[in-house]
Structure 1
């Protein structure tokens, strides 16, 4: 069975504080977050921007989170004010939020994995089987 896998990576800048955290992360501070998305499929699809089945998923669609917060993304926001209830502003929960929102825009059958880093040497990944 054929299988395609695409990967894209981008950054966005945002502020946050971790609720009830005993330490500096409990205070408002900022990061340049790096996000890596992997999408895997056994068939190719059309997209909002390309009408014929030629891609796993559109990179443009996958990178929604890098847009300015006023345009529906996460760039230059306070994550504590933007993330919906139930999501904390930890890297783990940011990865889950980006996964959940991205998954809703993709065709059925695409497997998705999202990794988020708030520093060069620390990553959190989220995927759902």
Structure 2
């Protein structure tokens, strides 16, 4: 049977700052991110399976990506753990969603992290094919399984 790719699009707003960066992005600022998640697999052939004919239910893709990424990062502030006193930004009245990452929160590093999170949750018969993360309307990063 043919391999089929499914893609689902997600949107979230997130603020970050790039520690020790030599440009404007060293300041706290936000982006309207658009994430495209593409999985690949063969449609289910088992006629007793309620997901017959599906590679994966789009609802399950949504659940995984929402839980691992969107619900956590939407309207969050994300900073690199290298930021001195980063914990001082953990002010519930202002930053209810505040995350300190092990890495510089660039589009490139975030998409690699997202790939790991999503891959860990996919059914064994479905593989993550690619991710595309738009940080702005004209700037994005891409991750492909074949490259990693």
Per the TM superposition, whether the score is higher than 0.5 is yes
Contact conserved, 1:57 with 1:106, CA < 8 A, in 2?
no
> Which structure: larger Rg?
2
Match of 1:121 in 2: 138
Match of 1:103 in 2: 119
Which whole-Å deviations, capped at 9, do the CAs of 1:104-125 have from their partners, x for residues lacking one? Answer: 1101242321110110111101
- TM-score, normalization: structure 1? 0.78
Which whole-Å deviations, capped at 9, do the CAs of 1:44-83 have from their partners, x for residues lacking one? Answer: 39xxxx964553233334334556x8x9531111122426
Aligned equivalents of 1:83, 1:116: Cα separation in 2: 20
The root-mean-square deviation of aligned C-alpha atoms, in Å, is 2.7
Structure 1 unaligned spans of 5+ = none
Post-superposition offset of 1:96: 1.2
Q: Secondary structure of the equivalent of 1:73?
A: helix
- TM-score, normalization: structure 2? 0.69
Match of 1:44 in 2: 44
Contact conserved, 2:38 with 2:131, CA < 8 A, in 1?
yes
Q: Secondary structure of the equivalent of 2:73?
A: coil
Aligned equivalents of 1:4, 1:99: Cα separation in 2: 19
Match of 2:90 in 1: none
Q: Secondary structure of the equivalent of 2:115?
A: helix
